[in-house]
Chain A
């Protein structure tokens, strides 16, 4: 199990370590700076952090010594915007997610951004290029903001069997997949529905507000989605999606995690609904299915009872590489870790800054 967790917050990056049976926080890094995404590269040990400085824009930092010292490296940048270009301004607003390329692609990084562009680096972040094959799709003009003013790409799944196959999700802009390393793309949100749209547009794949999408490492054709008005699962690599009909507590939320070794097991953290984004009954709870979404358990041991208003945002739930340990971090600064797949939780802190992302080393 991973004994180190990185916590990206509105006011810095926190490293939580387990020593002597206890979790404790190391001195914070990048204190005061909003860290919107963190990526420990398990291929070479480099740690990446994306900042969104309130005044001075998106900045990238990387550390080769586990977060003790940091250096600035290049930020993704959009190319010059043509006159009358449709859609959002060609300006980087935020890095929402970062992922590494495949094990066979050392140095390759992916960055999903607001306003929806996907960037790739081939050299550990020294240079970035916008994936024009997706950015130039005419459907992008119909993407909308979801959670932020501008559309944002928050999920990037690299197929461990073939690093050229990527599936990404946009809020709001559905699910898109490439099988040639990013040159050509297909929209793959068939089966999803959008209750916030007029009836004739509800099944349009390009308007789906996926909140978070994950794929099972050992069975990558199985993917799970927490959507704005439902939960979905695919067993055919996003070619089709099936609604999870009987979730526990609620079908609304942001986060989802899947067991890397068991495609049938996944975790969600429900909130009441779109217009009431707080835990159901004011009690923080994680739900778990072990049968592909047919039935769910509600896991509360160690999580705060009512009144608790912790919301777990898109990247606020993570599972370690072994599939044993989970972490959740809330928008009100609560952090909990489970060593037993969610059966029980230990509060690490209730007083961190608002948490954007948790990520095991």
Chain B
């Protein structure tokens, strides 16, 4: 199962422990996180479901390409890092 890790800066606002979830894409993996912790959704994606402008996601160290539908594939042993983009200050 892919592992999802969140920036510690987000922990200041909402608890998001590292966790392993089911999913073959970023969208599926995040959906599993949001199902467990609904309050996290609004911090990561906007109301249109797009990745927030100043949030960035890496899969095994590679930045995702599809920031709208979050369709980038993740492998069963992938690590998905949800970080802050420095463009956000």
Within the assembled complex, what's the spacing in Å between the Cα atoms of A91 and B50? Answer: 10
Q: Which residue of A lies closest to B54 (CB)?
A: A55
Contact A90 B48 (CB under 8 A): yes
Select which of B9, B39, B52, B89 is within 8 A of A57 by beta carbon.
Answer: B52
Contact B52 A54 (CB under 8 A): no
CB distance from B40 to the nearest CB of A (A): 10
Q: Which of A72-80, A163-171, A182-190 is near enough to bind chain B?
A: A72-80
Within the assembled complex, what's the spacing in Å between the Cα atoms of A77 and B44? Answer: 14
Chain B interface size, under 10 / 10 to 19 / 20 to 34 / 35 or more: 10 to 19
Within the assembled complex, what's the spacing in Å between the Cα atoms of A72 and B39? Answer: 10
Within the assembled complex, what's the spacing in Å between the Cα atoms of A72 and B89? Answer: 22
Within the assembled complex, what's the spacing in Å between the Cα atoms of A57 and B69? Answer: 19
Chain A 171-198 interface 0/1 with B at a Cβ cutoff of 8 Å (1 = within): 0000000000000000000000000000
Contact B47 A55 (CB under 8 A): no
Residues of A within 8 Å of B10, CB to CB, are 55-56
Contact A90 B47 (CB under 8 A): yes
Residues of B within 8 Å of A78, CB to CB, are 47-48
Chain A 86-108 interface 0/1 with B at a Cβ cutoff of 8 Å (1 = within): 00011110000000000000000
Contact B42 A55 (CB under 8 A): no
Q: Which residue of B lies closest to A59 (CB)?
A: B13
Interface status of B88 (Cβ within 8 A of chain A): yes
Contact A81 B48 (CB under 8 A): yes
Chain B 46-89 interface 0/1 with A at a Cβ cutoff of 8 Å (1 = within): 11101010110000000000000000000000000000110011
Q: Which residue of A lies closest to B47 (CB)?
A: A77
Within the assembled complex, what's the spacing in Å between the Cα atoms of A92 and B54? Answer: 14
Contact B9 A55 (CB under 8 A): yes
Residues of A within 8 Å of B46, CB to CB, are 57, 91-92
Nearest 9 CB-CB pairings of A with B: A77-B47, A54-B88, A55-B88, A54-B89, A55-B84, A56-B43, A55-B54, A91-B46, A78-B47
Beyond the given pairs A55-B84, A90-B48, 18 more chain A to chain B contacts, judged by CB atoms under 8 angstroms and listed by A's residue number, are: A53-B13, A53-B43, A54-B54, A54-B89, A55-B52, A56-B42, A56-B44, A57-B42, A59-B13, A72-B13, A77-B47, A78-B48, A79-B47, A80-B48, A89-B48, A90-B47, A91-B50, A92-B46
